Amino acid sequence: MDINRMIMKLRQHREAAKIGMIATHLGVVRANSRKGGEVRGIEVAFDHGAIRSIVEDSRKLKGIVEVLVETKEGRLGVGEEIMAVAVAGDIRENVFPALIQTVDRLKAEASKKKEISKE
């Protein structure tokens, strides 16, 4: 995953003149679970059809010009990147909520994750 490459792609978009903000999310495997236990990694899989549908929906949100998503699947260790999302749009009042909604939907509707506990 390369956030800078994603940003450059957005800046070259045919409607780049409408872009006043680009917001990004980079998900990384952390060493602890939400419940506080230590983990050594995760196994993750994505539903690419669901990703396409979510991106299409997000592109229709007010003020949004483009949405890009990259994912990494399989067994990932602590510190590895899982998912990158970049949202380009007109103003922060539109872009930040679109980024949050997109990430939340991707995690809830398009991904399956299993934590690998430390032994």
* pLDDT tens, residue by residue, 42-62: 999 999 999 999 999 999 999
What mean pLDDT is predicted for residues 112-116? 92
* Total number of domains in the chain: 1
Domain CATH for 74: 3.90.1170.40
Residue 95 and residue 86: Cα distance in Å, rounded?
10
How many distinct helices (H) and strands (E) make up the chain? Answer: 3, 6
**What's phi and psi for 89, nearest 5 deg?**
-165, -170
Give per-residue pLDDT as tens, 13-45. Answer: 999 999 999 999 999 999 988 888 898 999 999
Q: Are 116 and 40 in contact (CB under 8 A)?
A: yes
Range of the domain at 105: 3-117
Q: Residue 108 above 70 pLDDT?
A: yes
Torsion angle of the four alpha carbons 78, 80, 82, 88, in this order, in degrees rounded to the nearest 10: 130
